[in-house]
């Protein structure tokens, strides 16, 4: 929105015969803005913003129900379904209404469950590599990392090669 003083200045310059581009440069707004305010005439004097819309408790609950059900997690669809029921709200308002439920669903999706095993049943082995300074030279060292799945005990051993014989030795 442009301040009233700028709108008045646009009109004065237009009445003086200035072109849209020249007015835009002078006032510091876009050409299309100048054009829009000149076309609007006196209607541009009253700039009305729509009032913020908040959903009632019932409407919020209905939005969450729709989000869980028919809308399948899509706030734009929830907005359309609410509009069919006579409830007018922006997409952002609907997003705020279902935000807590959306976070709960997301947390449940990313939650991990620890994989339990019996003692001695499983071990995870992996190789890693690191460049270290040995005797003044930069040498690539391979690290064998083994983790027992039951106790989470860690075993690490360094090698100069990454061969099957090396990790069997570890």
Q: How many other C-beta atoms are found inside a 10 Å radius of the C-beta of residue 63? A: 26
Domain borders along the chain are 4-45, 57-110, 123-169
The pLDDT score that the predictor gives to residue 167 is 64
pLDDT of the residue at 37: 87
- CA gap 10, 26 in Å, rounded: 9
Return the ∠ at Cα 165 (arms to 161 and 170), rounded to 5°: 85
What pLDDT sits at residue 149?
83
Question: Tens of pLDDT along the chain (170 residues)?
Answer: 678 888 889 989 999 999 999 999 999 999 998 898 888 877 666 666 667 678 888 999 999 999 898 888 899 999 999 999 988 888 999 999 999 999 998 888 888 777 788 888 888 888 889 998 888 899 999 988 989 888 888 999 888 887 777 667 76
What phi-psi label fits residue 136: left (phi over 0), alpha (psi between -120 and 50 degrees) or beta?
left
Q: Please, which contacts does 8-11 make with residues 24 or more away whose CB atoms are closer than 8 Å?
A: 10/34, 10/37, 10/38, 11/37, 11/38
State both tokens at 16: 């003086």
SS3 170: coil
Q: Would you mind telling me the total number of residues written for the chain in this entry?
A: 170
Question: How many whole angstroms separate alpha carbon 130 and alpha carbon 76?
Answer: 49
CB 142 within 8 A of CB 168: no
What was the pLDDT predicted at 17? Answer: 92
| β-bridge mates for residue 134, sequence order | 137
> If we measure between CA atoms, which residue out of 156, 159, 126 comes closest to residue 141?
159
* This model's pTM is above 0.85: no
């Amino acid at each position: 929105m442009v301040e009233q003083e700028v709108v008045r200045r646009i009109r004065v310059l237009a009445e003086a015969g200035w072109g849209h581009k020249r007015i835009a440069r002078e006032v510091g707004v876009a050409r299309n803005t100048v054009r829009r305010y000149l076309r609007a005439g006196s209607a541009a004097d009253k700039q009305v913003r729509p009032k913020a819309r908040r959903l009632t408790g019932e409407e919020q609950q209905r939005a969450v129900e729709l989000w869980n059900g028919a809308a399948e997690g899509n706030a734009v669809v929830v907005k359309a379904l609410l509009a069919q029921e006579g409830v007018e709200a922006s997409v952002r308002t609907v997003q705020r209404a279902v935000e807590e439920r959306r976070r709960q669903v997301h947390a449940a999706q990313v939650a991990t469950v620890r994989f339990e095993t019996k003692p001695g049943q499983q071990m995870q082995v992996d190789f890693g590599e690191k460049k270290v300074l040995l005797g003044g030279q930069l040498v690539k060292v391979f690290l064998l990392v083994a983790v027992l799945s039951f106790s989470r005990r860690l075993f690490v051993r360094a090698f100069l090669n990454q061969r099957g014989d090396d990790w069997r030795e570890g």
